[in-house]
């Protein structure tokens, strides 16, 4: 893999991230390289969508190393995607991303939205070219929030296109810590995350059987994806990312495709980054 992980400071906004982000960037870059090159012959249009895009670079806490983050990594694959669609809510980060793309990748077809991806999902959809037999379109969407603040409705809308998803499930960072809040009837976070309102009764049963919350939520979320036509094997192919200090799983990268070929690529990436301690 090319060493895109340590780059120069350009003095644009660069958010701080934990050291474990390096592993995340390695994995997503690895996958994007395989996907974009592997699908080039078969699809006239390969679209990259990053709905929690960030600024394009990030700084590792303590070491101050600067890394390219997901949007810039996607732009740097060997066979660039045919179109890039980015969405970032924070104005400063959006402006930094816009400038970085201008500086390094202006020639690539791209659009950047400054907004809430859950509010502008329809606008994002309109940017995906129309699919036809002669001009087929396959999209890859990276969903990388800080917490479980994903809204399943947004994923459902985007999934009306041919689209694979890589979803960062921030269970360790968010779900476990806040569970006592989330299971309260008046808290809607998990309802929105799962796109369901009837999960509490199943959670009560699961809890009595000593099934842990992470496993429960992973299965419920994946079942929702299966209901949209994504393959069940997703659940067996999560990659756990740990914090360096206490080796606790912080989050999981969950890959969802409706096609076996997607899992061939993902499994290659997974084999290079195996972690047997899922759901501990």
- Of residues 42 and 149, the one with the C-beta less far from ligand SAM: 149
**CA–CA dist 58, 64 (Å, integer):** 9
Min separation Cβ 18 and ligand SAM, Å: 10
Side-chain-side CA neighbours of 83 within 13 Å: the count stands at 17
Min separation Cβ 145 and ligand SAM, Å: 6
**CA–CA dist 53, 28 (Å, integer):** 13
User: Do the beta carbons of residue 189 and residue 199 sit within 8 Å?
Assistant: no
Residue with tokens 């694959």: 77
**CA–CA dist 107, 58 (Å, integer):** 23
Which of 88, 98, 164, 220 contacts ligand SAM by CB under 6 A? 88
Tell me which residue of 220, 212, 234 sits closest to 190, measured CA to CA: 220
User: Do the beta carbons of residue 85 and residue 48 sit within 8 Å?
Assistant: yes
Binding mask 43-82 for ligand SAM (x = CB under 6 A): --------xxxx---x----------xx------------
Residue with tokens 């077809």: 109
- Of residues 24 and 46, the one with the C-beta less far from ligand SAM: 24
In angstroms, what CA-CA distances link 172 with 23, 50, 185? Answer: 16, 22, 22
Min separation Cβ 96 and ligand SAM, Å: 10
Binding mask 135-174 for ligand SAM (x = CB under 6 A): ---------xxx----------------------------
Min separation Cβ 276 and ligand SAM, Å: 25
Min separation Cβ 156 and ligand SAM, Å: 16
Min separation Cβ 200 and ligand SAM, Å: 25
- Of residues 80 and 145, the one with the C-beta less far from ligand SAM: 145
Which of 117, 167, 235, 253 contacts ligand SAM by CB under 6 A? 117
- Of residues 74 and 163, the one with the C-beta less far from ligand SAM: 74
**CA–CA dist 241, 161 (Å, integer):** 29
The neighbour count for residue 6, using CB atoms within 10 Å, is: 12
Per DSSP, the residues of 192-208 read HHHT-S-HHHHHHHHHH
- Of residues 118 and 207, the one with the C-beta less far from ligand SAM: 118
Min separation Cβ 87 and ligand SAM, Å: 5
Which of 39, 49, 75, 93 contacts ligand SAM by CB under 6 A? 93
Contact footprint for ligand SAM (CB under 6 A) = 51-54, 58, 69-70, 87-90, 93, 116-118, 144-146
């Amino acid at each position: 893999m090319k060493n895109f992980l340590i780059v120069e400071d350009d003095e644009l906004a660069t958010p701080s991230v934990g050291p474990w982000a390096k592993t995340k960037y390695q994995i997503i870059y690895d996958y994007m390289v395989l996907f974009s090159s592997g699908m080039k012959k078969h699809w006239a249009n390969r679209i990259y969508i990053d709905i929690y895009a960030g600024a394009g670079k990030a700084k590792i806490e303590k070491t101050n190393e600067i890394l390219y983050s997901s949007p810039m990594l996607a732009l740097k694959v060997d066979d660039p995607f045919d179109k890039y669609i980015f969405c970032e809510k924070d104005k400063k980060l959006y402006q930094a991303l816009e400038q970085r793309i201008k500086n390094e990748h202006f020639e690539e077809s791209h659009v950047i939205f400054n907004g809430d991806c859950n509010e502008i999902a329809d606008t994002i959809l309109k940017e995906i070219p129309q699919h036809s037999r002669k001009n087929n379109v396959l999209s890859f969407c990276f969903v990388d929030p800080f917490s479980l603040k994903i809204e399943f409705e947004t994923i459902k809308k985007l999934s009306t296109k041919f689209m694979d998803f890589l979803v960062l499930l921030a269970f360790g960072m968010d779900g476990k810590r806040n569970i006592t809040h989330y299971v309260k009837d008046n808290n809607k976070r998990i309802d929105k995350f799962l796109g369901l309102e009837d999960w509490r009764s199943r959670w009560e049963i699961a809890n009595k059987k000593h099934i842990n919350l992470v496993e429960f939520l992973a299965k419920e979320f994946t079942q929702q994806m299966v209901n949209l036509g994504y393959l069940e094997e997703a659940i067996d192919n999560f990659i756990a990312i740990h914090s360096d200090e206490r080796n606790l799983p912080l989050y999981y990268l969950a890959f969802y495709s409706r096609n076996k070929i997607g899992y061939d690529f993902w499994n290659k990436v997974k084999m290079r980054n195996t972690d047997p301690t899922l759901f501990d």
